[in-house]
Copies of this chain bind each other. A is one copy, B any other.
Amino acid sequence: MTTLRDVAREAGVSVATASRAINGHSNVTAPTKAAVLAAVKKLNFVPHSGARSLTRRKTDTVGVILPDLFGEFFSEIIRGIDLVAHESGMHLLLGNMHGSTHETAAAIAAMRGRVDGLLVMPPDVKPELLSGYLDPALPTVLLNYDAGSLDLPFVAVDNYHGAYAMTEALLARGAKQVVHIAGPKHNRDARDRQRGFADAMAKIAKVQSPAILPGDFSEESGAQAARLLVQGRLPADAVFAANDQMAVGLIAELAASGMSVPGDILVAGFDDIPLARHLNPSLTTMQVNIDRLGSTAMMMLLRILRGETLAAASATILTPTLVARGTTGGAAGSAVAAKAPVLGAHG
**A positions within 8 Å CB-CB of B:** 1, 46-54, 59-61, 69, 71-72, 74-76, 78-79, 82, 86, 91-96, 98, 109-114, 135, 137, 248, 274-275, 278-280
Q: Are A93 and B92 in contact (CB under 8 A)?
A: yes
Given the known interface contacts A92-B93, A95-B91, A96-B86, the answer about A110 and B71 at a Cβ–Cβ threshold of 8 Å is no
Distance between Cα atoms of A59 and B94 in the complex (Å): 14
Q: Are B49 and A110 in contact (CB under 8 A)?
A: yes
The oligomer's copy count stands at 2
CB distance from A46 to the nearest CB of B (A): 5
Distance between Cα atoms of A199 and B49 in the complex (Å): 49
CB distance from A281 to the nearest CB of B (A): 10
- CB-based closest 3 A-B pairs: A75-B75, A50-B113, A48-B113
Q: Are B46 and A50 in contact (CB under 8 A)?
A: no
Distance between Cα atoms of A117 and B255 in the complex (Å): 51
Q: Are A110 and B91 in contact (CB under 8 A)?
A: yes
Q: Are B96 and A94 in contact (CB under 8 A)?
A: no
A109 / chain B contacts, CB cutoff of 8 Å: 46-47
Closest residue of chain B to A103, judged by CB?
B86
Given the known interface contacts A72-B75, A86-B98, the answer about A46 and B135 at a Cβ–Cβ threshold of 8 Å is yes
Q: Max chain B CB contacts within 10 Å: which of A59, A78, A135?
A: A78
Q: Are A46 and B112 in contact (CB under 8 A)?
A: yes
A94 / chain B contacts, CB cutoff of 8 Å: 78, 82, 91-94
Given the known interface contacts A50-B50, A50-B113, the answer about A137 and B1 at a Cβ–Cβ threshold of 8 Å is yes
Distance between Cα atoms of A309 and B183 in the complex (Å): 49
Closest residue of chain B to A248, judged by CB?
B278
A98 / chain B contacts, CB cutoff of 8 Å: 86
Distance between Cα atoms of A78 and B71 in the complex (Å): 10
A279 / chain B contacts, CB cutoff of 8 Å: 278
* A to B CB contacts below 8 Å, 19 in the list: A1-B137, A47-B109, A47-B113, A49-B113, A50-B53, A51-B113, A69-B78, A71-B75, A71-B274, A72-B75, A75-B75, A75-B78, A78-B94, A86-B96, A91-B93, A91-B94, A91-B114, A278-B278, A278-B279
Distance between Cα atoms of A236 and B72 in the complex (Å): 35
CB distance from A335 to the nearest CB of B (A): 20
Closest residue of chain B to A108, judged by CB?
B46
Q: Are A112 and B47 in contact (CB under 8 A)?
A: yes
Distance between Cα atoms of A50 and B47 in the complex (Å): 15
A274 / chain B contacts, CB cutoff of 8 Å: 71, 275
A48 / chain B contacts, CB cutoff of 8 Å: 112-113
CB distance from A40 to the nearest CB of B (A): 12
CB distance from A174 to the nearest CB of B (A): 27
Distance between Cα atoms of A46 and B51 in the complex (Å): 19
Closest residue of chain B to A252, judged by CB?
B278
